[in-house]
Amino acid sequence: MSAYAQPVKPPLPPKNYMLPTHLPVANKILGALPRSDYQRLLPHLEAVELSEGDVIGESGEMPRYVYFPADALLSLLSLVDGGEVFSVALVGREGMSGVASALGGQLSPYRTLVLSSGTAIRMKAKLFVKEFRASEVLRNAVLRYVLSLTVQISENAACNRFHVIEQRLARWLLMMRDRLSSDHFHVTHEMLGQLLGVRRVGVTNAALELKHRTLIDYSRGALDITDGPGLQLAACACYRMADGRHGRA
Ligand SMILES: [Zn+2]
């Protein structure tokens, strides 16, 4: 376990969500399965409610579960010396958490943080590995996702290196909007600082600038994107490149 590890909290049962007994499901990987494959998985799937700020997987540990977000949004965080963290990728309903370490039998390189509360469907990591071997459709859907996740991680690394905070903040907010399918969501400046790998004051200044340009509005953690096209112009080219390649998540 990392020196900066946080306790992994067991998630609560969902409040308003029943695991669908039939397709479709909100998560795109599970939603890509043929009905017979989904029905076979069903006894091993469990819907859970995830709360903002919860750590559901820790760096340096084996994931016990893989999570398929329905409407929750996760952030994969890299830990660096001194306890600083920054986000290497977002995981929404297009994807899943714990995939690389589950398949490779390796300790997770990332902490998995719940960025936005919501529901996810989880499955024991060991069972997932068995199903991955058994189902060609699941295998193809997961491998496509792993490739897109790898691209996202490398794009984020390049973006962090070359682009200024305000452009990067605009990009992350658009990425969150796409995965949550909403212009209105809850996120604190502290969380945004972790996404961007900068101190809170840097985020606050960048957010203030976007607010002055009437692209966003926020109050007590509730954030509104008030001018989506304008925010896209304010974001660095990384967003438009990824948007063109993957379409909306
Ligand atoms: Zn960028």
Which H, E and C letters describe the chain, residue by residue?
CCCCCCCCCCCECCCCCCCCCCCCCCCHHHHCCCHHHHHHHHHHCEEEEECCCCEEECCCCCCCEEEEECCCEEEEEEECHHHCEEEEEEECCCCCECHHHHHHCCCCCCEEEEEECEEEEEEEHHHHHHHHHHCHHHHHHHHHHHHHHHHHHHHHHHHHHHCCHHHHHHHHHHHHHHHHCCCEEECCHHHHHHHHCCCHHHHHHHHHHHHHCCCEEEECCEEEECCHHHHHHHCCHHHHHHHHHHCCC
User: Which of 111, 136, 158 corresponds to the end of one domain?
Assistant: 158
Residue that finishes a domain, picked among 142, 158, 174: 158
Ligand 1 centroid from CA 47, angstroms: 35
CA-based diameter of the chain, in Å?
54
Cα(26) to centroid(ligand 1), Å: 29
Q: Write the CATH number for 88.
A: 2.60.120.10
Q: Are residues 32 and 111 in the same domain?
A: yes
In the reported structure, the alpha carbon of residue 41 is separated from the centroid of ligand 1 by a whole-number distance in angstroms of 38
What is the distance in A from the centroid of ligand 1 to the CA of 66? Answer: 29
64 C-alpha to ligand 1 centroid (Å): 33
CA of 197 from ligand 1 middle (Å) equals 13
Other CB atoms within a 10 A radius of the CB of residue 53 amount to 14
In a domain, 70, yes or no: yes
Domain residues for the domain of 104 are: 28-158
Q: What is the CATH number of the domain that holds 179?
A: 1.10.10.10
Q: Are residues 49 and 84 in the same domain?
A: yes
Residue 244, pLDDT above cutoff 60: no
Given the DSSP bridges, would you call strands 65-69 and 73-79 parallel, antiparallel or unpaired?
unpaired
* Higher per-residue pLDDT: 87 or 225: 225
Q: Does the pLDDT at position 23 exceed 60?
A: no
Confidence of residue 1 (pLDDT cuts 50, 70, 90): very low
- 188 and 86 part of one domain: no
Average pLDDT, the chain: 86
- Do 133 and 203 reside in the same domain of the chain? no
- Ligand 1 geometric centre to CA of 160 (Å): 7
pLDDT reading at 230 higher than 80 = yes
What average pLDDT does range 222-243 have in this prediction? 90
**In terms of domains, do 153 and 167 share one?**
no
Shared domain for 141 and 203, answered yes or no, is: no
Tokens 């995830």 sit on residue: 50
On whether both 133 and 188 belong to a single domain, the answer is no
Please report the sign of the dihedral spanned by the C-alpha atoms of residue 3, residue 129, residue 51, residue 171.
positive
Q: Is the pLDDT of residue 247 over 50?
A: no
For residue 210, the CA-to-ligand 1 centroid distance in Å is 16
Q: Kindly give the distance from the C-alpha atom of residue 238 to the centroid of ligand 1, in angstroms, as a whole number.
A: 4
Q: Are residues 203 and 100 in the same domain?
A: no
Residue range 54-81: mean pLDDT, rounded: 91
Q: What is the distance in A from the centroid of ligand 1 to the CA of 159?
A: 4
Are both 55 and 130 inside the same structural domain? yes
Tens-place pLDDT, residues 193-208: 888 888 888 999 999 9
Q: Per residue in 97-145, pLDDT tens?
A: 998 777 777 888 899 999 999 999 999 999 999 899 888 999 999 999 9
pLDDT in tens, 142-192: 999 999 999 989 988 888 888 999 999 999 999 999 988 899 998 888 888
Residue 198 and residue 127 in one domain: no
Structure tokens given for 15: 């409040």
| Domain total in the chain | 2
Q: Residue 98 Cα, ligand 1 centroid: separation in angstroms? A: 25
Distance 237 CA to ligand 1 centre (A): 6
pLDDT of residue 89: 92
